[in-house]
């Protein structure tokens, strides 16, 4: 049932703006308040990065599921004869939750596809099944109780996109005297398939958190001084957010974040007697609610950014505000009781502002292409050949922040640099020296100072390409004097280097390398007849295949990337100056035919995955401006080309801010470095004319 929402508010803020126009002001923060039409209560569960909200609505003491799309239109649905309770919605709009099928003592799960198709399920042996989360790939996780006792022993479960189930228990599971048997509960699954949750440890007599990786390995953790730890959400980077009971503060409920390295940050909302964490997004911003001791214990919403700044908010006319979810753009969805409507529960979306997009000049003199990488602390850093062909670098002073002055790292380069990230987080830059051999320079500590230049050797006739093997070893590829592909690699992560080895081939471009979903490196080059050729590791870190042709008729250098579905895609400028694309049809699988994405390119393309997974391609157009097009959803079709303005001397390089906003870096018409970044993750606002030089 599709319903129009008469209370739609500021819905245009939820749409990406691709067209370029006159300057606009920074969009102010605002709320969209809504009710499911004719519902007595509206309870919000989650908002996805496309701006769609799911939850439950009450009609005559029965709950129905709903989806509110980014335009404010509602779709109602039921999964069974009784209550339907959605819990999670992925980027595609697939919804997962639980329902009562009408049988005594039974709760079952459902998946509702974007097209409205309902799939009802129970894990094997499950009697009470509570799905909690669904990722982009369609993997569902949750908790199921087995047997006929209540409460009975429970297991975490994973239901993959094909309907196959895996049940698992965290180590040490067992009953705690005097407490219900919680067992294992899988709370959240990210788009990489990593799972966070909690379980009852019968040995220690308390609830504990866990992370389950792709291999099924479970890492158990406790927050400091915790009598109980509950991991509720895991983001794409693997950072977990949740609550714990602090034994040193009378078991007060407090919030925590656990980074992938195991470090834990504890926090409280201001003046909170109790802090409840609901959600964490790509940038590490945590949303939730708390009881405010200064306002008689009223429940209020909060958002805590990665730097620790907490912003408190209340929905309009709210007696109580509960923040349920934050998406990658920073929009927060939740529910509140409205003081003007007799305490009725209503839904809200607190809309994140989208900053205006503005070209910013960063100075320097750049004869070539920029290489970009992220430091371990999230700061982007750019490298380029500068005056007298030395290596120059510039970096953000804080993640998502302003940029430093240029630093001269010396050397004598004969081409463009390539940058890799060591297993310990140190950046390492590779370049062809004036003697045509490979040279490198590296950070002596992650994010720290730089070594002296060191010669690796070889005889190169191309720019190098670098990638990280599955075990953390860097590997470098370059065209030799004999016009075949050569490679050299670290013997161990962060370690010394092997000898050069030939991979053969007949090559007419710089090599480009990408990493398959299973960790195998794959190299792409143009060969005889300007066709695309590739060669790949037959196992992660192992031996290499023979060369194989993928056809096409291309110019410049290819741009490969791994998409969110785990398939490699290669983008290339055709001899007709259009953008062409070819992709694996399945992860690590065979390849499609070439397809044209149009445009008129005068540079090689640059391609990046946005924080939500949709790909975006950039290139210089016939007018020397920066042009781009993007997938409408991850793995979906493409938008039309749109101009982002500027005057480019040659190509474009891209990076991803720590908060998920794409950054484009170009050499402008003045040969200096210019920057353009999204106003919010996945969204380009209207481009402002820079107050600096007007030639970029």
> Quick one: pLDDT at residue 450?
98
> Quick one: pLDDT at residue 174?
55
| Average pLDDT per block of 10 residues along the chain, 696 residues long | 39 28 39 96 96 94 93 92 91 94 80 95 90 96 77 85 92 55 87 95 89 94 97 97 97 97 97 97 96 94 95 96 96 97 96 86 90 95 91 95 96 96 97 97 97 97 97 97 96 97 95 96 94 97 97 96 95 97 96 97 97 95 97 92 94 95 94 94 72 36
- Confirm if 63 and 85 have CB atoms less than 8 A apart: yes
**Percent of residues in the chain assigned helix, strand, coil, to nearest 5:** 5, 50, 45
> Quick one: pLDDT at residue 15?
28
In angstroms, the Cα distances linking 454 to 184, 378, 424, 431, 439 are 52, 27, 19, 11, 6
The secondary element (H helix, E strand) that includes residue 615 is: strand 615-620
Which string of DSSP letters, residue by residue, matches 140-151?
EEEEEEESSSSS
Euclidean distance between CA atoms 574 and 553, whole angstroms: 6
Distance in Å from the first CA to the final CA of the chain: 50
Residue 445: is it exposed, middle or buried by C-beta count within 10 angstroms (0-12/13-18/19+)?
A: exposed
Kindly state the tokens that stand for 167. 């049940």
Euclidean distance between CA atoms 559 and 619, whole angstroms: 11
**Residue count of the chain:** 696
How many Cα neighbours within 13 Å face the side chain of 192?
A: 20
Residue 626: is it exposed, middle or buried by C-beta count within 10 angstroms (0-12/13-18/19+)?
A: buried
- Confirm if 364 and 384 have CB atoms less than 8 A apart: yes
Euclidean distance between CA atoms 188 and 175, whole angstroms: 23
Asked if omega into 471 is within 30° of 0 (cis), the reply is no
> Quick one: pLDDT at residue 173?
61
The secondary element (H helix, E strand) that includes residue 426 is: none
- Maximal C-alpha separation, the chain: 81
Kindly state the tokens that stand for 409. 């790292």
> Quick one: pLDDT at residue 12?
28
Which string of DSSP letters, residue by residue, matches 246-282?
EGGGTTEEEEEEE-TTS-EEEE--TTEEEEEEEEE-T
- 11: helix, strand or coil: helix
Give the list of residues 6+ apart from residue 400 with CB closer than 8 angstroms, or none: 283, 378, 657, 658, 659, 661
Kindly state the tokens that stand for 669. 């018409």
pTM: 0.85
> Quick one: pLDDT at residue 688?
58
Closest residue by Cα to residue 341 from 634, 65, 39: 39
Other C-beta atoms lying within 10 Å of the C-beta of residue 102: 9
Closest residue by Cα to residue 529 from 504, 503, 554: 554
- 421: helix, strand or coil: strand
Euclidean distance between CA atoms 44 and 581, whole angstroms: 40
- Phi, psi of 340, rounded to the nearest 5 degrees: -90, -5
- 530: helix, strand or coil: helix
Closest residue by Cα to residue 135 from 198, 199, 49, 71: 49
- Phi, psi of 528, rounded to the nearest 5 degrees: -60, 135
- Confirm if 330 and 354 have CB atoms less than 8 A apart: no
Give the list of residues 6+ apart from residue 661 with CB closer than 8 angstroms, or none: 400, 611, 677, 678, 679, 680, 681
């Amino acid at each position: 049932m599709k319903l129009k929402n008469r209370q739609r508010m500021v819905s245009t803020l939820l749409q990406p703006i691709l067209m370029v126009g006159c300057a606009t002001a920074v969009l102010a923060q605002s709320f969209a308040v809504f009710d499911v039409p004719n519902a007595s209560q509206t309870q919000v569960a989650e908002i996805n990065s496309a701006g769609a909200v799911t939850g439950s609505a009450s009609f005559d003491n029965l709950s129905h599921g709903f989806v509110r799309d980014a335009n404010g239109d509602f779709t109602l649905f039921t999964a069974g004869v009784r209550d339907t309770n959605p819990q999670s919605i992925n980027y595609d709009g697939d919804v997962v939750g639980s329902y009562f099928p009408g049988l005594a003592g039974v709760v079952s799960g459902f998946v509702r596809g974007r097209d409205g198709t309902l799939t009802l399920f129970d894990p094997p042996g499950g009697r009470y099944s509570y799905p909690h989360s669904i990722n982009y790939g369609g993997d569902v996780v949750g908790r199921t109780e087995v047997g006929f006792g209540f409460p009975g022993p429970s297991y975490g479960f994973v239901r993959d996109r094909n309907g196959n189930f895996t049940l698992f228990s965290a180590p040490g599971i067992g009953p705690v005297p005097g407490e219900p048997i919680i067992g294992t509960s899988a709370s959240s699954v990210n788009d990489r398939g990593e799972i966070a949750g909690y379980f009852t440890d019968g040995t220690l007599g308390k609830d504990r958190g866990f992370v389950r990786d792709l291999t099924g390995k479970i890492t158990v953790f406790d927050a400091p001084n915790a009598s109980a730890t509950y991991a509720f959400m895991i983001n794409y980077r693997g950072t977990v957010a949740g609550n714990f009971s602090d034994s040193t503060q009378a078991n007060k409920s407090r919030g925590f974040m656990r980074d992938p390295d195991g470090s834990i940050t504890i926090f409280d909302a201001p003046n909170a007697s109790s802090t409840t964490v609901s959600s964490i997004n790509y940038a590490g911003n945590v949303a939730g609610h708390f009881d405010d001791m200064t306002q008689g214990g009223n429940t209020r919403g909060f958002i805590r950014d990665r730097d620790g700044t907490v912003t408190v908010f209340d929905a309009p006319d709210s007696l109580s505000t509960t923040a349920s979810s934050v998406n990658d753009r920073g929009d927060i969805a939740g529910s509140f009781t409205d003081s003007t409507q007799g305490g009725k529960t209503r839904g809200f979306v607190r809309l994140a502002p989208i900053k205006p997009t503005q070209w910013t000049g960063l100075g320097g003199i750049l004869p070539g292409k920029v290489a970009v990488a992220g430091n371990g602390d999230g700061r982007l850093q750019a490298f380029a050949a500068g005056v007298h062909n030395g290596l120059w670098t510039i970096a953000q002073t804080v993640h998502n922040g302003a940029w430093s002055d240029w630093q001269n790292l010396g050397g004598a380069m004969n081409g463009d640099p390539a940058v890799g990230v060591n297993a310990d987080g140190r950046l390492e830059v590779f370049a062809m020296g004036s003697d045509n051999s490979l040279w490198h320079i590296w950070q002596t500590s992650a994010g720290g100072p730089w070594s002296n230049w060191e010669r690796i050797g070889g005889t190169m006739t191309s720019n190098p390409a670098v990638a990280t093997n599955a075990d953390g070893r860097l590997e470098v590829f370059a065209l030799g004097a004999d016009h075949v592909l050569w490679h050299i690699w670290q013997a161990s992560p962060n370690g010394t280097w092997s000898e050069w080895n030939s991979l053969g081939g007949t090559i007419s471009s710089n090599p480009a390398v990408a990493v398959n979903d299973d960790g195998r490196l794959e190299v792409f080059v143009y060969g005889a007849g300007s066709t695309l050729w590739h060669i790949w590791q037959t196992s992660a870190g192992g031996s290499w295949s023979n060369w194989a042709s993928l056809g096409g008729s291309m110019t410049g250098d290819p741009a490969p990337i791994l998409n969110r579905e785990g398939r490699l895609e290669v983008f290339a400028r055709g001899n007709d100056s259009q953008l062409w694309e070819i992709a694996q049809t399945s992860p690590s699988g065979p390849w499609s035919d070439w397809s044209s994405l149009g445009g008129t390119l005068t540079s090689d393309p640059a391609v990046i995955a946005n924080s939500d997974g949709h790909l975006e391609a950039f290139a210089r157009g016939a007018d020397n401006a920066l042009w781009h097009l993007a997938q409408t959803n991850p793995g979906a079709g493409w938008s039309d080309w749109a101009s982002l303005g500027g005057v480019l001397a040659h190509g474009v390089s891209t990076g991803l801010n720590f908060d998920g906003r794409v950054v484009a870096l170009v050499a402008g018409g003045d040969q200096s470095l210019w920057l353009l970044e999204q106003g919010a993750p996945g969204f380009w606002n209207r481009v402002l004319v820079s107050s600096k030089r007007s030639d970029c």
